[in-house]
Chain A
Amino acid sequence: MYEHDVIVVGAGGAGLRAAVAADEAGADVALVSKLHPVRSHTGAAEGGINAALQEGDDWELHAYDTMKGSDYLGDAPAVETLAQDAPEDTIRLEHWGMPFSREDDGRVSQRPFGGLSYPRTTYAGAETGHHLLHVMYEQVVKRGIQVYDEWYVMDLAVTDEDDPNDRECHGIVAYDVQTGKVEGFKANDGVVLATGGPGQAFDHTTNAVSCTGDGHAMAYRAGAPLEDMEFIQFHPTSLPSTGVLISEGVRGEGGILYNNEGERFMFEYGYANNSGELASRDVVARAELTEVNEGRGVKDEYVHLDMRHLGEERIIDRLENILHLAEDFEGVDGLVEPMPVKPGQHYAMGGIETDENGETNISGLYAAGECACVSVHGGNRLGGNALPELIVFGKRAGRHAAGDDLGEPEIRTGYGDDVEDETDTELPVQPGNAGLDTAGGVAADGGVAADAEGVLEQTVERTRERVDTLMDKDDGVQHAEIRQKLQNAMTDYVNVFRTEEGIKKALRIIRECREEYQDVYVDDPSRTFNTDLQQTIETRNLIDVAETIALGALVRNEFRGAHWRQENQVRDDENWLKHTLISWEDGEPKIFYRPVILEGQDKTYEPKVRSY
């Protein structure tokens, strides 16, 4: 058994920032990640970090833009914390050596981004995330923080009180990918989940193969609600063949979108008469697909993004990485021809419900970064707001877990007297694990002793049994087949445009996947670097997470932010100024709602029509 004060799961931007903060607060901290830190998907972020740094800009403008971008589903205390802390935390990165792009006077450069009222996206070429990730890892090395890399965290050691709000998290159970041994890690003060997004629930995604929603699924099964999971951002400019991301920075620098008629459709067809290509991401993604659906797409599949008019010098200076991506992954030279682009799953606005200190309803369990939902992004995340979220809330979660007093949070978590139960929606199939053999593994429910070491030991035991069961089975279904079926269902039916019938189809297929998973087996008999085993466990996590996305999409019958419903194509503030929460109770998802907080420090954010 290993023991530390604070254990951070995942070593991307949020995890590394949390670890550094916990270390600075005096805790003995360890990072446990299925990847070596520099392999994390933060490294693929291109665009930049929104922060009100310049005179003429103001954190309040940043907060306003973020709230509007969220389609009034962000919680004001979270949104304002982000906007207030982002400048300091961005400048701190600079002091840690981050190679930001520079102006003539030597100050850091900032550029316009979609949905922003001021050019406040701080960037380092078109590879901002790569630099952020490496700078944060450098700080971890400098501080000598212990890293357990290529350890796959499978479960959380959480007590089993009936009311999830009474439960406590005492550690994690992980297996060493290199040797296959399963070990417990005791966390004396807290566990911070920073496991990134669940993009692999979809077929066409900009996300890495490693983005499998592990933290979401573990927290969910342990009793922490998942919040606003239906809000999935589809990035308007991913390469059609691979899903590789083309940064919004291209449009920020002046790149133009054309349909197959050569029309600048964002203006010509009135999708965004003021902002055009720089409207919010959900607006642009829907516009592109509408063009394709109405027969104005190129090869009936995509549209063109043209940056040639920017000139070679400017492109090389600010967007060089984009040239390489378009060349290597689509065979297109962005200097001589327009690049093909279409919407691809990119980001999950929802996630593990936390307060503004990163804490969940389970004592000692924190979440930060994409896997968390504070909620800053609400119905739609603005470009350039993910990286500041990593550093601001990673830092806060790390500090709080280490015992720093950050004040009483205003945001509430877990099922309580301020929530409303879901009662209306009819489900096409029984969701959750109910009725199925649970050998595939559930986390927290069932027979766990109350003291910290006992909880950890029993969780280790259960995890070892789960691994043995998967390894001992000699035939059945392989996970890759189930995963592909799940991904196709999500991309076919829970995409940019959603219908009740489609979502119900997806839920039926997810149920089939769950049933098939009962027969899953791991063919590779080796304990050495068994990625077959790891991916089989990831696939189970994806099933649980995909189901919450589809359930959220089904119950929210309105059009808000990135979530569009055919049956009710308007934002319904009367009924839906509330978060969707789904918690796992005895193997079944329970759905309830919590009102959004629109009251900020000094003002209330009144919902307005969102036009760009």
Chain B
Amino acid sequence: MSTQQQEPEQPESQEAPEDPEMRGAESPVDEKEKQGGDIDQQTTPESELEEESVLIKVFRYDPEVEGKQEPRFDDFHVPFEKGMTVLDAVMYARDTYDSSLTFRHSCRQAVCGSDAFFVNGKQRLGCKTQIADLSQPIRIEPLPHQEVVKDLVVDMDHFYDQMHTVEPYFQNEETPDASDLEEQRQSRENREKVKMSTRCIWCGACMSSCNIAAGDNEYLGPAAINKAYRFAMDNREPADVKEHRLRILEQEHGVWRCQTQFSCTEVCPKDIPLTEHIQELKREAVKKNLKFW
């Protein structure tokens, strides 16, 4: 069995992040890592990992606990098992070494969207990231550009607020009453058109990866724009509602802020073509404006 090597008393053993901005408020963003970190060239061969342990370095912060008010990294050695995910590793560390290690998680199957972390410099879902695919030591940090509540838990309120800004609910004429209720018709093609956009699990990885969102707090962000896309492209909503949606999207902090860097598309754990959706909405907005000009 491995043991925990946690040395909070010795500052030299910690990798206290150097970026002063993160202290107490923002999670760490190492720009260099962020650019290149998604390519893990030194993938450890599986045979070497067997019966070995993996070293994870986990970001720690708690505003009210002495010794954790200054952010630090704790090292945990976790016995490796085939198929082990980043979530499995932090759960093991918590249940075996330190029950105060805090992170959100629930379904363990990439549908609840709770466990987006910044793993080796890239936004990823802990539960669907295989340890064997990462180079060691594995750095696990909270999502950048969001306020850290504690350890790997970030404040999601801003993300939710942006989602709510786009009126994220179906708008059509009143539902007919009980007895003769029949479904609206929708073509297979139209359902296919919105399919990918409906897969969003609100994990926040895209928003966290977006440079524009980092610099403009009011920017709707990829997830909210994708949510709007989901309705704007759904033919079951009437045309005037679509126009209304486009008006929301073309405001100052809407689709036109996107600079097509594709970072959101790259990190999306559900493979939603977010950037394409944003581009398509830009075209739709132009078309609408030409029509009314």
- Is A44 within 8 A of B149, CB to CB? no
* Interface stretch (choices B49-57, B197-205, B254-262): B197-205
- Is A532 within 8 A of B100, CB to CB? yes
- Docked Cα-Cα span, A414 to B285, in Å, equals 60
- Is B178 within 8 A of A480, CB to CB? no
- Docked Cα-Cα span, A522 to B153, in Å, equals 19
Among A107, A242, A526, point to the contact of B83 (Cβ < 8 A). A242
Interface digits, B103-125 against A, CB 8 Å rule (1 contact, 0 not)?
11111111111100000000000
What B residues does A127 contact at CB under 8 A?
111, 199
Q: How many residues of B contact A (CB 8 A)?
A: 59
- Docked Cα-Cα span, A480 to B92, in Å, equals 10
- Nearest-neighbour CB distance to chain A for B123, whole angstroms, equals 16
* Interface stretch (choices A2-10, A98-106, A298-306, A548-556): A98-106
CB-CB under 8 A for A209 and B160, given A101-B191, A478-B99 = no
- Is A44 within 8 A of B111, CB to CB? yes
- Is A102 within 8 A of B149, CB to CB? no
- Docked Cα-Cα span, A127 to B109, in Å, equals 12
What B residues does A131 contact at CB under 8 A?
198
- Docked Cα-Cα span, A3 to B104, in Å, equals 28
What A residues does B199 contact at CB under 8 A?
127, 130
What A residues does B176 contact at CB under 8 A?
95
* Interface stretch (choices A133-141, A489-497, A505-513): A133-141
- Is A40 within 8 A of B112, CB to CB? yes
* Additional A-B contacts beyond A43-B111, A95-B170, A324-B110 (8; CB < 8 A): A41-B107, A95-B181, A95-B183, A96-B175, A97-B237, A245-B109, A526-B100, A529-B102
28 contacts between A and B (CB under 8 A): A41-B112, A44-B111, A95-B183, A99-B191, A99-B234, A102-B187, A102-B191, A106-B187, A106-B188, A130-B199, A134-B198, A141-B164, A178-B149, A208-B106, A208-B107, A242-B108, A243-B108, A244-B108, A325-B110, A478-B99, A480-B95, A480-B99, A523-B98, A525-B65, A527-B64, A529-B149, A529-B151, A532-B100
- Is B99 within 8 A of A524, CB to CB? yes
Which A residue sits closest to B188, measured CB to CB? A102
Among B108, B150, B231, point to the contact of A97 (Cβ < 8 A). B231
* Interface stretch (choices A151-159, A326-334, A575-583, A585-593): A326-334
Query: Which chain A residues (117-165) contact chain B, with CB distance < 8 Å?
Result: 125, 127, 130-131, 134-135, 138-139, 141-142
B292 in the interface, Cβ–Cβ < 8 Å?
no
CB-CB under 8 A for A105 and B170, given A208-B106, A242-B109, A526-B100 = no
- Nearest-neighbour CB distance to chain B for A332, whole angstroms, equals 11
- Is B170 within 8 A of A524, CB to CB? no
B41 in the interface, Cβ–Cβ < 8 Å?
no
B288 in the interface, Cβ–Cβ < 8 Å?
no
Which B residue sits closest to A522, measured CB to CB? B99
A36 in the interface, Cβ–Cβ < 8 Å?
yes
- Docked Cα-Cα span, A389 to B191, in Å, equals 26
- Docked Cα-Cα span, A240 to B144, in Å, equals 34
- Is A106 within 8 A of B65, CB to CB? no
Interface digits, B28-67 against A, CB 8 Å rule (1 contact, 0 not)?
0000000000000000000000000000000000111100
- Docked Cα-Cα span, A328 to B124, in Å, equals 13
- Is B107 within 8 A of A43, CB to CB? yes
* Interface stretch (choices A86-94, A258-266, A380-388, A444-452): A86-94
